[in-house]
Structure 1
Amino acid sequence: MQPLALGDPRHIGPHRILARLGAGGMGKVYLARTPDGHLCALKVVMDDLAGDARFRARFAREIRTARHVHGPFTPSLVDADPEALVPWMATEYVPGPTLKEAVASGGPLSAESLIVLATGLVRALEAIEEAGLVHRDLKPGNILLSPRGPQVIDFGIARAVEGTALTRTGQTFGTPAYASPEQIAGADLSVRSDVFSLAGSVVFAASGQPPFGRGRPADVLRRVVFEEADLAPVPQGPLRDILAHCLAKDPAQRPDAAGLRRRLEALPTPDAAHGWLPPPVAEQIERSREQSRRADAGEPLDASEDGASDTPDRGTAPPLGPDYPGAPAPEPPHPLWRRRPVAVTTAALAALAVLGGGAYTLTDLPAGADGGGGDTAADTGTHPLEEAFARDDTGPDLMAVDRLAFSPDGELLYAIGYYALSVWDWRAGELVGVVDPAPRGAGIGGDGSLALAYDDSVQIWNDGEDSPAAELGGDDDRGFYALPVFSPDGSTVTALAEGSPDAGRGYFLQAWDVGTGETAFEVPLPGMLTDLEYSADGGFLVGRVSGPDPDQSSGVAVWDARTGAWLHRFENAEHLDFALPPRNPGTMALLQGPDRVSLVDLGTGRAVLPLEPPGEGHDASTDLVYSPDGSVLYAGVDDPADPGGARGSAWDTATGELLHDGELLLSDPVAVHPEGEVVASATGSSGPLLILDGENLAVVDELS
């Protein structure tokens, strides 16, 4: 809980605003006092959503339905105004931490508390189901803990925020670590999808880890679909068996809410006299109650108390009034860019299953595993993901961003994702525009040129021109292009290419001479690429390969950039990433485990300097990036349960010394300004982008 900033409203509708509770992908949340004297949590929709007529219609529909959700484990909807200039909704205030916060600060819950948690959650799902809703985003961050049991929040809102059409199959996509396989596939959802997410949340409560591990969204989603959850932290016994049943890949094999409740209620529960919450959580609740009392009384608040949001606030938003949410920014001069309303589509949501612009099809993964490529098996059927990937109607949202990059002059920030490329004036904190039609991926050249990958070609756009300077590729036997990158001198562009369905869908690394359009080389791959980069001198190409068999075909690969010859491959199935320095082209930083980072010689493949490992208790690193002079290596992290709370590290690359030990607000992906002025970081799959001071890495702005 934090005191109100200068720009925060003092009244919203009939409710008096007392303090700020936090912020998220949908908007800001305030503590408010209702006219009849009750406390409520009032959520105000962000500007972009407020201006989206489709969102307003969905938001109003979900609110009407949510009014019928009643029960002891779902905070009641108090009031809402979806027709207001800035829509808002108010729910019963629960003075307790989220499950994510409680486990982070106090550790996993006891075996008895896990049973109470699971029982309360399934009763909440029953209440939500009776109202005709599916939660769609049940996760530790949407579960509040209170003495009377867990409280499930934000039910129904996921569809309002993330869907595009009420009639579209597979309308929404939840948080990757807790999404069900059918959500990933874009199939119809039922309460059994929420049961899957419920089980994953209980596993987190038992271990502090998501059920399918941490890492890049694409890797997590692949494990959700193909691998089994890690239930080892759950005590052996009936509860573990029940959770395994709930985590079945086929929703038909899972229990429904009623069946799950009956099984859970047959298990022993803790003595009610001692409560179900561990002492640290009970203390957090008492502190929250004291903070709310002080806010209501107008007394000063200590922003460092538990419950304060980790999400920064720019403090410059005008109060709610006739001019809110502000005038639109002027049209950008670049012919590629245009402004349009934010519209989150199913294609963008399904795109969380990809990195760097390339998609994998769940029924037709590449088969080669020896580093030499080879044909893949013919199609055995069309998976729903394939249809989702084929759509190109994604709006300029931040949902699928997996790469951030500054323009060469440092004035613009590109947010690059699968079928989404938005351009930001980071100094002004404004969205400049979006590239339309949206490409599968983009590369930025040293002179500001853009390489945009589409299904049929890679287009080269020079700054200020109103048509492509060149179109590369266009072969009939290619299904799509993705991940384009410029060589340092701009003479060559290399990209991931997928074979057409008739060609067996093999993956290739393809390079072109930009001046002539001729293919320089073509290299078969054992899987798709999820990252690609040139060394500073243009002599090496380094990429991250994600194959169908992680133990044999996945890894960081190094090629000779002149011939495409394979040089090395570094393997690790769980945590693997790399970064190339700007001034030492013969080395790279290599991540080969959650906390194992080394500087590696690109010519020999041998480690030349192991970096000091971070201390225990921090999230696993997933994204490496150098400072402009190469003296510092930053590591962003990816926490699927609460990405905005993730903490990264930094090293001195000359000595390997750890400069920052898991204390930086750096979440994958990360980008460093070309002059080191600022560092840009994501806050999860759909949250705002953070701008950090280049010297002390303090948050100075937020792009949303």
Structure 2
Amino acid sequence: MQPLASDDPRHIGRHRLLSRIGAGGMGRVYLARTPDGHLRALKVVKEDLAHDTGFRDRFAREVRAARRVRGPFTPAVTDADTDADVPWMATEYVPGPTLKEAVSANGPFPGPSLLVLALGLARALETVHEAGLMHRDLKPGNILLSPRGPQVIDFGIARAVEGTVLTRTGQTFGTPAYTSPEQITGHGVSQLSDLFSLAGAVVFAASAEPPFGSGRPVDSLRRIMADEPALGAVPEGPLRDVLARCFAKDPAGRPDAAEVRGELSALPLPSAEHGWLPAPVTEQIDAREGEVRRAEEAGRTTVDLGGGAPAPPRGGAGADGTGHPPPGREPQEGAPRGEPRFRRRAAVLAAASALVVAGGAALALTALPGGGVPRDAAGGGPPAPPGPSASPSAQGAPEVDLEGWIYEVDFSVDGESLYVFGTSLSRWDWQAGEPVDVFEPAPSAADIGPDDHVAGAYGDQIRVWDGGSGDEVNRFGRDNGGRGFYDMPALSSDGSRVAVLAAENGDPREERVVQIWDVAEGTPGVEFPAGGVLTDLSYTADDSLLVGTVMEEGFDAYVGVAVWDPATGERLHLFEGGDHYAFALAPDGRTMALQSGARRVDIVDLGTGGVVRPLAEPDASHESVTGIGYSSDGERVLAGSFGWDDDRGSVWDASTGQLLRDADVMVYAPMGSHPEDEYLATVADGGGRVLVLDADYTVVNELS
């Protein structure tokens, strides 16, 4: 970490730069601080790439896709401006060395650390792949180390470099020592290519050498094509066997990330007493944290002496440090406020599945997708299936961290509680501002039904509760005749049925279908093609229809909003042709508010598919609507928005389309209406803070 040079900028977007972390082929990386104190790693593209039109287009596309990735081993992309003169992107900052730095400084990792490393990388790739991405350049330099596990960075960004001056001047696509045979030949490249690179990174950690030796890139490529990897430094046993299969020359012979995760998670984890990392690496992390503190102190001194202070939060609502999107960016592409509801469902394998070190001494691997927790630290006993949590009274008040994106907030039927789903799934006494229940392990996707039923997806299993974490109704999935790989559960009004997005054989790359389950019986019924990747799915209030937002594979473009008959699977309507899509279902079950443009929202008849009335366009200070909701009585439509002038939301009269309030209410998305319309829960800053507003849209409480 180096001080800022005279030619380094001091501010980029809403970020204040503190120091220079490093530089690479694509540009410089800075340590930055957001207005409310969050640290970010901010990558600024090199000037020559900034003038490459093809690169800019690919970079923008890959950043949009990468923002969909949310997981415990993939630092989130929190902000970006791909339209700036010099494009940039910001991610969560991990104050640790790369795997390359750690091994180079301290030597090879011991066997137990290798297991945790491989398992964390598999789960990182699982998250990336299920978002429709490939990493394409997984290597020790793209793996950061932290007490909670390895952190994979730069996923999806490698593809933006393809075809630029970097590759036209002779660089191969990917890093030669860790690239796969098919990347070398250019034929058959798929997500399985990342598994070849995963194995290479683990072998490097075990031996301090690439799997096919060091030397000139051309020699490395030749050995990758013709030779076998050097696995001798990896202890004999299941881990070495898994890595050997990942090194198969033919991709068809490799396991995918889910298979690797499944096999390794059944193995005994290392003792938690000293954490998973070798002691010298932990010391490196401590030293890096000290550098960060010094950089922050230097930054504060600069401000005190008259340097440029960061802009205050806009609109009085605070900011989470993700900044504001540039003009014209679609809210579904990662708006900092008003995070669209679909993010809770598209972000498969979310951060609930984390390696956590509490106080540097307690290591636990929880919420493994596919069900179950691993053997205990001592290695005794087989994995146990996820079971109901102990009641809060039995285990003391639950601890819930709301940091990170929040994807859904919903009041209970009696209005006394508030369900919050993000990196955790919890229920709160919102008046006291305290959590009263937490669902453990946390699901990768969840839905709160209108009668307090709760559904959670766990890879190849679905679980349904009636109100609390101790009141499980049933669990079912692949072992009950289902297809496997479940996402986006949507509960019927009485909790008797749950619709889910499913993929054949648990493979998200296969054709996706919507599958409807009988909750009591635990059996699948009607199923029908989803038509793409669903990013939201909901029953209407009378359960007569299912509505979902459909995107193309890879989240490259919207297909539209589809309406299905859940009794037959027939698609009744497809609203298409827009460039922004979000919807909110009216309580009457017959209409919905449909966003199809940046600021265009219409009331649509679900029976005929026709527009009933347009809603008045918000003030031009709103660059885009970022999420829609209804009041509980259906009389008002509410929306969050973002814009350079103000970030506050809008309120319409649903019967006339007239704007009642505009740019003067603290309404963000996701949002949930109190059953008696006395209060509105809304998520400020995309995560970290849940605000409860009264009927005048004044904050009456804050959960954090």
TM-score (norm 2): 0.50
Shift of 1:656: 0.7
- Does the Cα contact within 8 Å between 1:619 and 1:662 map onto a contact in 2? no
Q: After the TM superposition, which residues 439-588 of structure 1 pair with which residues of structure 2 at under 5 Å, given as runs?
A: 439-463=443-467, 466=470, 468-475=472-479, 478-500=483-505, 505-548=510-553, 554-572=559-577, 574-583=579-588, 585-588=589-592
Aligned amino acid, residue 661 of structure 2: H
Secondary structure of 1:401's counterpart equals coil
Q: After the TM superposition, which residues 322-333 of structure 1 pair with which residues of structure 2 at under 5 Å, given as runs?
A: none
Q: After the TM superposition, which residues 598-617 of structure 1 pair with which residues of structure 2 at under 5 Å, given as runs?
A: 598-617=602-621
- Does the Cα contact within 8 Å between 2:68 and 2:343 map onto a contact in 1? no
CA distance in 2: counterparts of 1:481 and 1:444, whole angstroms? 16
CA distance in 1: counterparts of 2:686 and 2:343, whole angstroms? 12
Aligned amino acid, residue 621 of structure 1: V
Q: CA RMSD in A?
A: 5.3
> Structure 1 regions of 5+ residues with no counterpart?
1-64, 76-93, 103-119, 144-152, 160-174, 212-217, 227-245, 256-287, 293-304, 314-350, 362-386
Alignment correspondent of 1:69? 3
Shift of 1:398: 3.7
**Count of residue correspondences:** 429
Cα distance, 1:247–1:465 mapped onto 2, change above 3 Å: closer
Aligned amino acid, residue 611 of structure 1: L
CA distance in 1: counterparts of 2:311 and 2:20, whole angstroms? 31
Aligned amino acid, residue 426 of structure 1: W
Cα distance, 1:201–1:556 mapped onto 2, change above 3 Å: closer
- Does the Cα contact within 8 Å between 2:133 and 2:554 map onto a contact in 1? no
Cα distance, 1:649–1:222 mapped onto 2, change above 3 Å: farther
- Does the Cα contact within 8 Å between 2:439 and 2:469 map onto a contact in 1? no
Secondary structure of 1:554's counterpart equals strand
Aligned amino acid, residue 620 of structure 2: E
CA distance in 2: counterparts of 1:187 and 1:491, whole angstroms? 32
Secondary structure of 1:557's counterpart equals strand
Cα distance, 1:550–1:438 mapped onto 2, change above 3 Å: closer
Alignment correspondent of 1:355? 343
Alignment correspondent of 1:250? 161
Shift of 1:602: 0.6
Secondary structure of 2:407's counterpart equals strand
Secondary structure of 1:667's counterpart equals coil
Cα distance, 1:395–1:548 mapped onto 2, change above 3 Å: farther
Alignment correspondent of 2:671? 670
CA distance in 2: counterparts of 1:638 and 1:388, whole angstroms? 36
Shift of 1:614: 1.0
Q: After the TM superposition, which residues 12-23 of structure 1 pair with which residues of structure 2 at under 5 Å, given as runs?
A: none
Cα distance, 1:663–1:465 mapped onto 2, change above 3 Å: closer
- Cα deviation, 1:491-530, whole Å, max 9, x if unaligned, reads 3221222222569522111112233333231111122221
Q: After the TM superposition, which residues 324-343 of structure 1 pair with which residues of structure 2 at under 5 Å, given as runs?
A: none
- Does the Cα contact within 8 Å between 1:413 and 1:425 map onto a contact in 2? yes
- Does the Cα contact within 8 Å between 2:132 and 2:553 map onto a contact in 1? no
- Cα deviation, 1:623-678, whole Å, max 9, x if unaligned, reads 11100110000012367x99xx6222110011110112233222221211111122
Alignment correspondent of 2:697? 697
- Cα deviation, 1:30-61, whole Å, max 9, x if unaligned, reads xxxxxxxxxxxxxxxxxxxxxxxxxxxxxxxx
Greater Cα offset, 647-656 or 551-560: 551-560
CA distance in 1: counterparts of 2:429 and 2:468, whole angstroms? 17
- Does the Cα contact within 8 Å between 1:358 and 1:496 map onto a contact in 2? no
Cα distance, 1:442–1:388 mapped onto 2, change above 3 Å: closer
- Does the Cα contact within 8 Å between 1:405 and 1:414 map onto a contact in 2? yes
Shift of 1:580: 0.9
Q: Does 1:628 align with 2:632?
A: yes
Q: Does 1:661 align with 2:595?
A: no
- Does the Cα contact within 8 Å between 2:369 and 2:444 map onto a contact in 1? no
- Cα deviation, 1:164-194, whole Å, max 9, x if unaligned, reads xxxxxxxxxxx999799699699999xxx99
CA distance in 2: counterparts of 1:426 and 1:158, whole angstroms? 35
Aligned amino acid, residue 669 of structure 1: P
Shift of 1:534: 1.4
- Does the Cα contact within 8 Å between 1:392 and 1:438 map onto a contact in 2? no
Secondary structure of 2:472's counterpart equals coil
CA distance in 1: counterparts of 2:535 and 2:458, whole angstroms? 16
CA distance in 2: counterparts of 1:488 and 1:187, whole angstroms? 32
Q: Does 1:400 align with 2:405?
A: yes
CA distance in 2: counterparts of 1:177 and 1:311, whole angstroms? 32
Shift of 1:444: 2.6
TM-score (norm 1): 0.50
- Does the Cα contact within 8 Å between 1:415 and 1:422 map onto a contact in 2? yes
Cα distance, 1:599–1:354 mapped onto 2, change above 3 Å: closer
Shift of 1:448: 2.2
Match of 1:411 among 401, 416, 426: 416
Shift of 1:428: 1.3
CA distance in 1: counterparts of 2:161 and 2:426, whole angstroms? 36
Shift of 1:559: 0.8
Alignment correspondent of 1:436? 440
> Structure 2 regions of 5+ residues with no counterpart?
44-59, 91-127, 137-156, 167-302, 319-338, 350-366, 374-398
CA distance in 1: counterparts of 2:165 and 2:660, whole angstroms? 47
Cα distance, 1:599–1:308 mapped onto 2, change above 3 Å: closer
CA distance in 2: counterparts of 1:425 and 1:530, whole angstroms? 29
- Does the Cα contact within 8 Å between 1:178 and 1:201 map onto a contact in 2? no
CA distance in 2: counterparts of 1:157 and 1:633, whole angstroms? 37
CA distance in 1: counterparts of 2:632 and 2:78, whole angstroms? 41
Secondary structure of 2:612's counterpart equals strand
- Cα deviation, 1:96-126, whole Å, max 9, x if unaligned, reads xx76579xxxxxxxxxxxxxxxxx97xx764
Q: After the TM superposition, which residues 38-53 of structure 1 pair with which residues of structure 2 at under 5 Å, given as runs?
A: none
Alignment correspondent of 1:43? none
CA distance in 2: counterparts of 1:445 and 1:248, whole angstroms? 40
Aligned amino acid, residue 564 of structure 1: G
- Does the Cα contact within 8 Å between 2:533 and 2:555 map onto a contact in 1? no
Cα distance, 1:136–1:674 mapped onto 2, change above 3 Å: farther
Aligned amino acid, residue 497 of structure 1: A
Aligned amino acid, residue 430 of structure 1: E
- Does the Cα contact within 8 Å between 1:512 and 1:520 map onto a contact in 2? yes
- Does the Cα contact within 8 Å between 2:517 and 2:525 map onto a contact in 1? yes
CA distance in 2: counterparts of 1:176 and 1:402, whole angstroms? 23
- Does the Cα contact within 8 Å between 1:403 and 1:669 map onto a contact in 2? yes
Aligned amino acid, residue 69 of structure 1: P
Secondary structure of 1:488's counterpart equals coil
Secondary structure of 1:634's counterpart equals strand
- Cα deviation, 1:397-452, whole Å, max 9, x if unaligned, reads 441322221111122222223x6313222111223342111112222334422222
- Does the Cα contact within 8 Å between 2:340 and 2:627 map onto a contact in 1? no
Shift of 1:481: 1.5
Q: After the TM superposition, which residues 86-235 of structure 1 pair with which residues of structure 2 at under 5 Å, given as runs?
A: 100=13, 126=20, 141=34, 201=81, 203-204=83-84
Aligned-residue sequence identity (percent) comes to 32
Secondary structure of 2:527's counterpart equals strand
Secondary structure of 2:617's counterpart equals coil
CA distance in 2: counterparts of 1:625 and 1:429, whole angstroms? 23
CA distance in 2: counterparts of 1:605 and 1:392, whole angstroms? 43
- Does the Cα contact within 8 Å between 2:61 and 2:556 map onto a contact in 1? no
- Does the Cα contact within 8 Å between 1:358 and 1:440 map onto a contact in 2? no
CA distance in 1: counterparts of 2:427 and 2:493, whole angstroms? 22
Alignment correspondent of 1:683? 684
